[in-house]
Each structure stands twice: as structure tokens, then as C-alpha cells.
Amino acid sequence: MATVNNETDVYLDVAHQEDAAAILAMLRLLQVESDTFTISPEFATLTVDTEATNIAQIGQTTDNLILIAWLDQTPIGIVTVSRVPNATVGELGIAVRKAYWHQGLGTALMQEALNWGQHYSTLDGLMLEVLASNQHAIQLYQKTGFELMTEISINRDQVQLPALKMEIKF
């Protein structure tokens, strides 16, 4: 349980197959609300049935995670961990609906992902890529123990933007 605005209880739970439609709807909203949120090109053609299957498969692994923040019956945040192929680390992604930015929800999601990674996963650590302009996210990552590995660039709409690759080891 997390608190938003010092009054509202938000429930954090792993994604379930029956959550697929609500998760896809939230991801579509996040694409519109944030210029720092990126998702794979395949997302445009992803169906609810395919997402439900993906969620079920992910739930059976120890190196992948989808955790959702729920307010009542509405998803308002997500953190994912996807094992990097041929590596012992997972790539972390985190996003929160704009109405809930800067209220501690990102921190709560991050802490749960780190707890899962340290105590329940088979991973040795997590890595992420973040736009250098996203200072709030960088502060969250540093606060929770991520360290700068290298400066990189990310292609966003045919434009190369400065970014950081960060990592935390368990």
C-alpha cells in the first residue's frame, strides 16, 4: 500500500491476465502524457489477448516483473523489469500517470521493484536508460542506489537525445 497526496491509498500488485485491457489503456495514456515515456514499436499492434498471454508468461519467470499501482480499479503507475538477453541484469522501466507525478508513487514502485530484484529474482542487478533532461527521474534513481555507468544517446523521433545508462547491483 502506498499513499498519494497524503490521503489516498494506492495498491501495488503484480499484473494479472485479467488486467491486460486496463494496462494497455494506461500505457496509451502515458504515451500522450509524457515525452519521456517510450515503448516498443510493436505496442501499436498489441491486442488485449496477446498482452494477457504476455502477462501470464512473465508471471511464471523469476527474472521479469510487471507491477501495477492501482487507485480504486484504475491503474495509475507501472514498473517493469525485463531480463536483458545474455546478461544477468534486468532492464527497469517505470512510469506514473501525470496526475500523480511528484507524490511518492514512483519511489514506491521503485522500492518494490528493488525488493523483488534483491529477494525474489534470479538477477544480479538492474539497469536503465534515462533522458539526461529527466532530472526528477535521475534523482529518484540516484536516491535508490543506481549509479551512472555511461552517457549515451537515445533516438527519439529521428533525433538523438543525450541520455544516461544507470545500474544497480544486488
The confidence score (pLDDT) of residue 88 equals: 96
**Which are the contacts of 41, defined by CB distance < 8 A and separation ≥ 6?**
none
Residues recorded for the chain? 170
Q: Mapping DSSP to helix (H, G, I), strand (E, B) and coil, where does residue 163 land?
A: strand
Give me the residue label for grid cell 529518484. Answer: 140
How would residue 168 be classed by pLDDT, with cut points 50, 70 and 90? very high
pLDDT of residue 35: 78
Q: What is the architecture, at CATH level 2, of domain 2-123?
A: 3-Layer(aba) Sandwich (3.40)
Contact at 8 Å (CB) between 128 and 91? Answer: yes
* 89-114 tens-digit pLDDT: 999 999 999 999 999 999 999 999 99
Measured CA to CA in angstroms, residue 165 lies from 65, 104, 129, 142, 159 at distances of: 20, 23, 5, 12, 18
Between 114 and 43, whose confidence is greater?
Answer: 114
Sign of CA dihedral 101, 102, 105, 111: positive
Residues 6+ apart with CB under 8 A from 92: 79, 80, 81, 113, 126, 127, 128
pTM of the model: 0.89
Model pLDDT, residue 66: 98
